[in-house]
Amino acid sequence: MSNPQQLRYSKEHEWLSAPDGEGVATVGITEFAAGALGDVVYAQLPEVGQQVTAGETCGELESTKSVSDLYSPVTGEVTESNQDVVDDPSLVNSAPFEGGWLFKVRVAAEPEDLLTADDYTAFSAG
């Protein structure tokens, strides 16, 4: 498993892209989390305009194994939810860093405890 170096990671196994020029970042779950969940069959994502808070629940993913809360790695306002994932939740498993992203958020505050790719790899290994 290779975690993209340009992303930051939470200890709840979400990833975050660097904010674009308008301060909007993309959020998804890691390949490690997708594998631990098993086949994702349902995704409830935050709605556009919803305020999310770093470390707090903002949705859920249901798999053949269990239901897992989705946590926001940052504080901000949701600008887009990935309708493709709602329509085909298996994208979370097949392309967690590409088409399986979950939502975009205009970042108001980014916590200082997000991990680098190497730190997340070590964290998820042990």
Chain segment 79-120, per-residue pLDDT in tens? 999 999 999 999 999 999 999 999 999 999 888 999 999 999
Which of 76, 78, 83, 84 lies closest to 107, judged by CA? 76
This prediction's pTM: 0.95
pLDDT, tens only, 6-30: 999 999 999 999 999 999 999 999 9
Beta bridge partners of 69: 60
Q: What is the band of 2 on the pLDDT scale with cuts at 50, 70, 90?
A: confident
Helical residues (DSSP H) of the chain, grouped into ranges:
31-37, 83-87, 91-94, 117-125
d(CA 22, CA 66): 36
Spatial neighbors of 34 by CB under 8 A, at least 6 apart, are 40, 92, 93, 96, 100
